[in-house]
Amino acid sequence: MESLRSLLPREWSRLLVDHLPLLDLIDAAIGESATNPDRDQIFAAFALPPVSVKVVILGQDPYPQSENAHGLAFSIPHSVRKFPPTLSNIFKEYHADLGFPIPESGDLTQWRNEGVLLLNSILTCEPGKSLSHASIGWQEFTNAALASVVTPKTVGILWGESAKKFSHYFESDALITSVHPSPLSAYRGFFGSSPFSRCNEILESKSIEPVNWLLQSGR
């Protein structure tokens, strides 16, 4: 079984070299147990090179359903047809904000390829158990990742109270916050918040190429 150290992309390993011993401790805590997402997808968000990060969308931890988790916050694999309720609400706002049709796939890899770091603050959980890996060190690691990569021009899109705890990494004029898109809270300020168009307005004001949010997705 490959170590977490070896799975972290090289550019991030160099950037976070002082925190690689922490990965070893997390590795020991997980042991050989199954995880969501699968081990080879734990660092899927980090396939985006650090120099390419221009937006951060922060989630809490992976989907507890094993078929849904694939290493990108809020995203699900292309093969999964049923959207989790939170992702459905994100797509409703995406449609209302940008006028794009609701995607056929919930795979957000295209956003990652546009420079969006889709990062969960806790990168794994036990299958079926949300927040089961909340105390093994992931938050320290993802805090270090944000501290190393966020610049005054990086836009933060933070939904919900858990994500807002990371607000201090972002300049006030590059920060977009709202309640979480969960069905429990989306109607209290997520719907109508226009995060995608606002993000592009901020990027353009900082002379950065806006994100192409359009998800081209046939099944």
Q: What is the pLDDT of residue 99?
A: 96
pLDDT tens per residue, range 119-136 = 999 999 999 999 999 999
Percent of the chain clearing pLDDT 90 (strictly above): 97
Q: What is the mean pLDDT of residues 88-97?
A: 98
Percent of the chain clearing pLDDT 70 (strictly above): 99
218 has pLDDT over 80: no
Q: What is the pLDDT of residue 216?
A: 83
What would the DSSP string read from start to end of the chain?
---HHHHS-HHHHHHTGGGHHHHHHHHHHHTT---BS-GGGTTGGGGS-GGG--EEEEESS--SSTTT-SSSTT---TT--SPPHHHHHHHHHHHHHH-PPPPS----HHHHHTTEEEEESS--BBTTBTTTTTTSSHHHHHHHHHHHH--TT-EEEEESHHHHTTGGGS-GGGEEEES-SSTTTGGGTTTT--HHHHHHHHHHHTT-PPP--------
Indicate the pLDDT class of residue 219, thresholds 50, 70 and 90. Answer: very low
Q: What is the mean pLDDT of residues 13-39?
A: 97
195 has pLDDT over 50: yes
Indicate the pLDDT class of residue 25, thresholds 50, 70 and 90. Answer: very high
pTM of whole model > 0.85?
yes
Q: What is the mean pLDDT of residues 180-196?
A: 96
What is the SS3 assignment for 52-78? HCCEEEEECCCCCCCCCCCCCCCCCCC
Is position 107 annotated as part of the catalytic site? Answer: no
Q: What is the pLDDT of residue 1?
A: 86
Interatomic CA distance for residues 29 and 10, integer angstroms = 23
Q: What is the pLDDT of residue 162?
A: 92
**Mean pLDDT, rounded, of the chain:** 96
Q: What is the mean pLDDT of residues 26-36?
A: 96
Q: What is the pLDDT of residue 217?
A: 60
Annotated active-site residue in 24, 27, 61, 97: 61
Indicate the pLDDT class of residue 141, thresholds 50, 70 and 90. Answer: very high
Look at the domain 4-205 and name its fold: Uracil-DNA Glycosylase, subunit E (3.40.470)
Q: Write b or e for each residue in 171-196: b if 16 or more Cβ atoms lie within 10 A of its Cβ, otherwise e.
A: eeebbbbbbbbeeebbeeebbebebb
Residue 22, token pair as written in the block: 């922490």
